[in-house]
Amino acid sequence: MWFFIIKAHSLAKERNLRRDAWTAQPAAPWSGEPSHVRRSDPDKGRVARLHLLSRGKVAVAQVLTRRQLLTTLGLGLGAVAGLRLWRSRAFAPAERQRLLHVKGQGPKAWLQQLPKGWVAQSRSTMEHLAAALQTEAVDLAMVGEAWLPHLRPQLQPFGAPELLEPLLKAAQDPAVLGGGVTAAPVALPWAFGSWVMVFRNQPDWVERSRGEGWSLLAAEALQDAWILPASPRVVVALALQSLGASANTTNLASMPGLAARLAAVVGRARAFDSRHALTRLVNGHGSAAVVPSWTVVPHLLRDQRLVAVRPTISPPLLNWQVLVRPRRAGPIPTPWLQASTKGGILNGLLQAGFCPPLPMEALQPQLARQPAATLLHPGDEAMARAETLQPFTPEQQAQVQQVWDEAMGERLHGAGAGKAA
């Protein structure tokens, strides 16, 4: 800093001397003896003295005025500030692109391979992640397909059609891509799972589930046993499948037996929990649970008490993990996305319970090595008839809410009657 101040001082002194040469009165001739010559200066308060020394050399002593001092300091400080700004820009790291995911739902093996310049960050819940998309600079986000209608106004078309082309037909569903029938897709489905039943130390129930399917949810023998998803939509869909109907049936009022079946299913539940269902089950707070397959696959080898079953008498009811690009997001890391379907990265995804939505042949030999291969991928034929829950209109949502409220009312009434007895 002092270097710039001294340099600026020297430049100011040189400039003033040149001005003095034009404004000073003629100096007296040298007489061989020291003499002082006072010169006038256009700037008031500034006095310059010339000292004639013995060897004929002239030394200049200049007294700085307040204006000159401030100018000099200003030049020096400005130069230092400029240098610091240049150094900060020259050596500061470039801003990194960000990928957000819900804590515990991001496959580490894949996220650790993000290209240079990217960073993965988690949020505790999907609600917090959705809020972050509104207020923070985010380039990619991992979300469930059920969130797409809510997030769509904040998203841009995903692009990269070459990544969508090889996916299964089920992955081309507008409910999965989030773009509607004609609009451009806003999501890239990178993994899928299916709703499964998980039992803890219940071999008899495991055997029954394979023959009875989702109707086992209503079995009297499993009273107060089930931990069901905290989603009326999902529970109603499972009740519909247990009756042999489509999970996306819309005219619920005319569906024979739905009210009674749903009331029975809701009545058998011990708890409704989408976030900690598996933890409850492992800790003994229930004997069976309904969860997405990708949440339980990593636990099956570690906990021999657990057995997961996907009913085969009904079409697989799928749930999806998709990537979305908020508005103003940066470029897509295409090579990183392509790597998820190959080699060690694919093997890591499968072990974590995440299966890319590709034909079985494209996932070999990694898929065949997985102990839970049939849970990860039900097969191409089963996937051709699989169902994904479609977005509801407000009227359809009102129907679901109505049948749900009626079923919950019966549950509460039955609980009250039991206490009274």
Q: Report residue 198: phi and psi, to 5°.
A: -125, 130
Q: Say what the pLDDT of residue 109 is.
A: 86
Q: Say what the pLDDT of residue 33 is.
A: 37
Q: Say what the pLDDT of residue 15 is.
A: 47
pLDDT of 292 over the 70 cut: yes
268-277 pLDDT tens trace: 999 999 999 9
Q: Say what the pLDDT of residue 26 is.
A: 37
16-64 pLDDT tens trace: 444 444 344 333 333 333 333 344 444 444 433 333 333 444 343 344 4
Count the neighbouring beta carbons within 10 Å of the beta carbon of residue 410.
17
pLDDT of 260 over the 80 cut: yes
Q: Report residue 319: phi and psi, to 5°.
A: -130, 150
Arithmetic mean of pLDDT over the chain: 82
Domain ranges of the chain: 2-21+37-91, 97-192+320-354, 194-317+391-420
The CA distances from residue 267 to 228, 377, 412, in Å, are 11, 31, 9
CA atoms within 13 A on the CB side of 200: 21
139-188 pLDDT tens trace: 999 999 999 999 999 999 999 999 999 999 999 999 999 977 668 999 99
Q: Say what the pLDDT of residue 209 is.
A: 96
Q: Say what the pLDDT of residue 60 is.
A: 37
Q: Which residues pair with 144 in a beta bridge?
A: 321
**For the chain, what percent of residues have pLDDT higher than 90?**
70
Work out the pLDDT band at 411, boundaries 50, 70, 90.
Answer: confident
Q: Which residues pair with 118 in a beta bridge?
A: 97
pLDDT of 297 over the 50 cut: yes
Reduce the secondary structure of the chain to three states and give it as a string.
CHHHHHHHHHHHHHHHHHHHHHHCCCCCCCCCCCCEEECCCCCCCCCEEEEECCCCCEEEEECCCHHHHHHHHHHHHHHHHHHHHHHHHHHCCCCCEEEEEECCCCCHHHHCCCCCCEEEEEECCHHHHHHHHHHCCCCEEEEEHHHHHHHHHHEECCCCHHHHCCCCHHHHCHHHHCCCCCCCCCEEEEEEEEEEEEEECCHHHHHHHHHHHHHHHHCHHHCCCEEECCCHHHHHHHHHHHCCCCCCCCCHHHCCCHHHHHHHHHHHEEEECCCCHHHHHHCCCCCEEEEEHHHHHHHHCCCCCEEEECCCCCCCEEEEEEEEEECCCCCCCHHHHHHCCCHHHHHHHHHCCCECCCCHHHHCCCHHHCCCHHHHCCCHHHHHCCEECCCCCHHHHHHHHHHHHHHHHHHHHHHHHHHHC
Q: Say what the pLDDT of residue 257 is.
A: 96
Q: Say what the pLDDT of residue 417 is.
A: 54
104-139 pLDDT tens trace: 888 988 999 999 999 999 999 999 999 999 999 999
Which residues make Cβ contacts (< 8 Å) with residue 353, sequence separation at least 6?
Answer: 193, 293, 294, 295, 296, 297, 298, 372, 376
Work out the pLDDT band at 11, boundaries 50, 70, 90.
Answer: very low
184-241 pLDDT tens trace: 999 999 999 999 999 999 999 999 999 999 999 999 999 999 999 999 999 999 999 9
pLDDT of 81 over the 80 cut: no
* Stretch among 23-37, 84-98, 175-189, 315-329 having the lowest mean pLDDT: 23-37
Average pLDDT over residues 301-316: 95
- In this structure, which CATH number among 3.90.245.10, 3.30.70.2190, 3.40.190.10, 1.20.1260.10 belongs to the domain 97-192+320-354? 3.40.190.10
Report strand pairing: 48-52 vs 58-62: antiparallel
Work out the pLDDT band at 416, boundaries 50, 70, 90.
Answer: low
Quickly tell me which residue has 């609600």 as its tokens.
127
**For the chain, what percent of residues have pLDDT higher than 70?**
75
pLDDT of 306 over the 60 cut: yes
pTM (predicted TM-score): 0.76
Q: Say what the pLDDT of residue 10 is.
A: 53
We find that the CATH architecture of domain 194-317+391-420 is 3-Layer(aba) Sandwich (3.40)
Q: Tokens representing 282?
A: 């492992």
Query: Which amino acid, 278?
Result: L
Q: Say what the pLDDT of residue 355 is.
A: 97
Quickly tell me which residue has 């109907």 as its tokens.
245
Q: Where is pLDDT greater, at 260 or 29?
A: 260
Q: Say what the pLDDT of residue 30 is.
A: 35
Q: Say what the pLDDT of residue 280 is.
A: 97
Work out the pLDDT band at 65, boundaries 50, 70, 90.
Answer: low
Are 97-192+320-354 and 194-317+391-420 equal in CATH topology? yes
Instruction: Please measure the distance between the N-terminal and C-terminal CA atoms of the chain and give it in whole angstroms.
Output: 88
226-236 pLDDT tens trace: 999 999 999 99
